[in-house]
Structure 1
Amino acid sequence: MTGAGVAAVAALAVVSAVPAQARAGDNAGPSALTLTAGDSESLDAATNQRTVLLICSPAPLGTHPQASQACDELSAAGGDFGQLRGAPMRFCQNLYQPVIVAADGVWNGVPVSYHRTFANSCMEKNGSKYVFAF
């Protein structure tokens, strides 16, 4: 099963576990993502590959070590990974040691598939403070 498939199944399982009354007023939909990071230009060739599950709705859960902070960071960006901002910008060496990050699943009920390669881990940390910190 692919990462997106795992996240979708997890999202359905979480939504199914919430009583119908709790979901009735929530128009946002489920938010469950499989997040992956690795050292390479592509996930297929990545070394030191890590994957976690991040569930943000109906509540912060999953295997992400800072699920609540990661969900808050994503919510502040409107679920748009391109809008994520890490810690205050730091100057990074001009060294090419590519790092790839990926997110697959659903955000507020909408399918998500995000993949981005950064020149190095310093540049990746400028892109997100909590979401890919695992």
Structure 2
Amino acid sequence: MTELSAIVGELSRALRTAIVQGDADALDGLLTHDFVWIHANAEVDSKQSLVGSARAGALRHIEFEASDETARRYGDVLVHNGVASVQVQVDADLMRLANRFSIVWTLEDDGAWRITNWQSTSMRSN
């Protein structure tokens, strides 16, 4: 395993664990102040809205698996791509999602990698 693979594996596990556990504090620590997530349905979350949803328990992730993960590093920027298999619960509705994702991590001054941008694209055909 290369050093880059190890970094991406650790970051990916930390992100998925924070989301599935609804750990708002851990999620807060993984995101830059200007974080943006463009969801597969074109909705947009900021750091404040995503962490707020986690604190309120508004959206519950039952499962979040990642596969086909790759990464490229450009200095203090890491581009992380893969496939996400996600099961979420919104109110009484369970939904299973399959998305390709592209996540941009930046190495901050404190030595921590944080997400600045996350783009999801649905793998469902219309």
Superposed pair shares fold, TM > 0.5 = no
Quick one: higher RCO (CA 8 Å, sep 6+), 1 or 2? Answer: 1
Q: Which of these two proteins has the greater Rg computed from alpha carbons?
A: 1
TM-score, length-scaled by structure 2: 0.29
